[in-house]
Chain A
Amino acid sequence: MDIVVCMKQVPDLVEELELNDEGTGLNRDYLKLVVNEFDDWALEQALLLKEQNGGTVTCLALDTPEVDTTLFTCLAKGADKAIKIEGDFVGGATSHQAAKLFAETIKTMPHDLILTGVQSVEDLDGQNAVLLATYLGIPHVSVVTGVAVNGKVATVRKEYAGGMLAEFEVDLPAVLGIQAAPQAPRYAPISKVRAMMKEKKINQVTPTDGQVDAGVRIRRLFKPESGRHAEMIEGDANAVAERVVGILKEKALVK
């Protein structure tokens, strides 16, 4: 079974997000990118399936800054191949663009199952898994927290609200939007990632037919102007604790 995992680099939310001069996008000059956390869960699910059923895992990503580290980390964790898709992604890529490029690339390689994160913090124009499946014309299930494969069929669990699960059988090839895997994403030690950089190669592809316009124009990107921002409690830990106890007493929440 050949599994493909699509990975995206997204802005690190731990850092301050700066806007561009027009206020319509991020200033990407010094933007720190990290792998989309749900893509990491998708990779974990793929590696677990490979351990159970055999086969291969290939990681696929757009050529955005720091993507080499992400792809070598994939290899260090146990993926067999890593491919980066060349192109101009200086201003980022919309979800529609990324999905189209993933689709064009996947068409040219063996694929029984495609896994990717359920969403990312950046997908204003929708989530990758379903866009990708629709461009490929194959079945999809998003918000998946469990996958088992038996021949040409996968049994998957999709999570609804309140912890309710729906179980589906899906004909392969298919795309699954992964929310979580049975175990947290494994860790690859830096030494192993470095070894991969010496031993292995990242393949590069340039799809010829990957143009799509998401058709969404951002008028303005802004920090939420909340009418209800919290009243901030300042001071050292003891002062803060005193004040909180005061508030709780006032509301009869500590007796």
Chain B
Amino acid sequence: MSTSDDIITTSNGLGYTSSSAAHPESLVKPPQAPSAGEDTIEIKIEFGGGLHLLFSSQPSHKIHIPRNIPNDDNTATQPVNMRYLVKWMKSNLLSEREEMFGDGDGVRPGILVLINDADWELEGELEYELRDRDEIVFISTLHGG
């Protein structure tokens, strides 16, 4: 097995340093987000690979979103999913150049998504049902060799 762990870093592996980011941890109040409670869940969002530049230069955000959302034909509710989160981020967190982040309902090719440290391709991508305190990481693979 791997013998490579003799190299110690104090980094986050996300491609930014605290000096290049506006705030290491977001101080931003998510607009109109209800505080965590029965009806909402808390999600931690992190950006890597320079993506934070599209989100007010803040690499880390804690947000609250509804636990349940209306289903497609508005007849009942369903648990909130990644599709909702991505849409929510576009209208509430994204500060510029939407085309650099979104692509249709999803995220543009070249952005890696991790759900609790797992490749979202293993987790159902947009259909993944979010749970309280999930950690979602978005990393751009496009910039700079």
Q: Do A and B bind each other?
A: no
